[in-house]
A and B are shown apart, each in its own frame.
Chain A
Amino acid sequence: MQLEQQLRNKRKEKDILLMTHIVLGYPSFDANREVIKQMVENGVDCIEMQIPFSEPMADGPVILKANQDSLAAGTKVEDCLSFGAEMAEKYDIPFLYMTYYNIIFKYGEEPFFQRAAEDGIKGLIIPDLPPEMGESFLALADKYQVAPVLIFAPTSTNERMRELAGHGHGFIYCAARRGVTGKKSEFGQDFNDYLTRCRKATSLPLAVGFGIQSREDIEALKGKADMAVIGSRTISLVDSEGPTAVGPFIAGLR
């Protein structure tokens, strides 16, 4: 699919790519606009936009609160999709949606894929939809050429990783550790062994996320992964210093 090729082309120019995460409607869509502008201008390669859900089971406190506050402010799925279309139109980097399966299930799987494809969205990350539960989802992803990004975890066996890789497109999202988003990860020997197992299981580009917060973290991933994912860190930064702090932070990461 297009997403994989786009990332491979960019990867030829950089030792490591950068994906960032925003929660749509948090703190506001205007703030989202400014944050994305700062991210793109400072060289972010790919952005995952989270459509908020009332039960974000896989997210830690920072993103959980962002989901709840966005919904409390009245964010609707339709607002998120319009905003996604606007960003994909405006900027020349791939945009993805991250959300939980119920949002897509309620919208209707096929209408959702159709809409995402029309709006120029390149991929979907759905942490509570393992391939066993996503037969029709995966078929529609193929039909509409919107990449289903699957997740590896440190608890995944080699056999399981190969199975997941067989269903995934675009890239593989490697969760750096057990647990939820936002907490610091340690990049020791266990982590290196895990990434070696990930690399052996798939030829897709590898993104590493969960608890990546600094230039040092990203430096440590060079040569082992293709893309680093910054999630909760930029949300906290916007909370404490406002959207304009994002640009300098991103610029200082590589």
Chain B
Amino acid sequence: MDKKGFFGNWGGAYIPEVLYQTFQELQKEYDRCRQDPAFWEEYLSLMSTYSCRPTPLTYAENLSNYFGGAQIYIKREDLNHTGAHKANNVMGQGLLVKRMGKKRVIAETGAGQHGMATATMAAKFGLECTIYMGEEDVLRQRPNVFWMEKMGATVIPVKDGSRTLKDAINEAFRDWVTNVDDTHYVFGTACGPAPFPEMVSWFQSIIGIEAAEQIIKYHGKMPAKIYACVGGGSNAMGIFKRFLDENDVELVGVEAGGHGIDSGSHAIRLNCPDASPGVAQGYKTMFLQDEDGQMKHTHSVAAGLDYVGVSPILSDLWEKKQVRFESATDNEVMEALDLTMKKEGIIPALESSHAFAGAFREVGDLSPDDAIIINQSGRGDKDIFTIAHAFEDPSWKKFIIDRGKEYSAK
């Protein structure tokens, strides 16, 4: 990151003046933490006692045999407390909030995992907490809303625009400019104005640091390829960062192909003619936008990938060809999820299932002497309503109908 917050051509801090001072303070505190080894020690200790770090690297023997190519390893971010990699970033920012002395945190959430993690952190650290969530996502991710509210957070459904992640971000910014003195905005992904992209990537980099040690221990050498799903890009940055200088490791980001790249109903920001450089939500990156600069509608079966922009750091790595980008459609994702559950007894989140789909396409072509790592950013049981619906599971449907009858009878 340069002094103005750019990574190559991307990033920056396009913020309203009212936030300028707060960003100065945030940058200063973040710089202090970066230079203080005790801060990282405190972070590691918190993550190993409150969450489940280091998370395991699981050898997927059945999937490896099934494809007959490279050995498949799965980095288990789903085993973090609250069920996703989001906790890594949130607990780190929580420590930062304590140092800055702010009393209240706000956050946007798409899949609800970041909101969950933030509500958890706020409960633990005794902070007031408000979560903004697109109305469409509130419907898609009802169980997470339930838990956030149970942990004492206020969940505000956002009814503007496309009623998804980007609209929740706008609304969180509106709250922040109003309550800037006592409130910190716990940005959930490696996007937004500087220093968020770099700071979030730093907290998430713990994933790749662990994975590098683990793969050497189990496989004896670096992996041939690493796969991660890409919404905003925080889990991808988290696992990629450590391997950026390992020239023999290919890094692959898998975006949400939705109904297909030609459908106009997807969230593919890199390698897609529907996207172009733009500036919105405080930073410059590749956005899905029209010729006037108005943001387009996006779609993914996974709420956490359903977003118009992408981390400026990933746009830079894409431009410099240090990361290859692919996409997986909703249907491919459901197949990959089904296969992973049947073969390994592991339930990846719909978001993470994109990384599995991307890897499954290619793994058979690799040598059995090689290994790949798939980053399982989160667990899928939160998606039970969406997954059961997509599989048109008859016994689940009957359960919902019966429970509905039971409630309406009261």
Contacts and interface: CB of A to CB of B under 8 A. Distances in A.
A133 B291 contact: no
B15 A154 contact: no
Interface in A147-163: 150-157, 160
Contacts, number: 110
* Interface range, B side: 35 or more
A178 B177 contact: yes
B163 to A, nearest CB: 11
Contacts of B294: 53-54, 71
Label chain B's interface by main secondary structure.
mixed
Contact of A155 (B4, B22, B292, B293): B22
Interface residues of A, number: 40
A130 B22 CA distance: 14
B17 A130 contact: yes
A135 to B, nearest CB: 9
B278 A102 contact: yes
Interface in B156-180: 160-161, 166, 170, 173-174, 177-180
B220 interface: no
Interface string A131-145: 011000000000000
Interface in A30-69: 53-58, 60, 64-65, 68
Contact of A57 (B12, B17, B173, B293): B173
Contacts of B303: none
A102 B177 contact: no
Interface in A85-140: 100-103, 105-107, 127-130, 132-133
B15 A102 contact: no
A164 interface: yes
Given A55-B170, A60-B174, A106-B291, A133 B18 contact: no
A60 to B, nearest CB: 7
7 closest Cβ pairs, A-B complex: A106-B293, A179-B178, A153-B18, A102-B293, A54-B294, A54-B295, A153-B17
Interface of A: 53-58, 60, 64-65, 68, 71, 76-77, 100-103, 105-107, 127-130, 132-133, 150-157, 160, 164, 175, 178-180
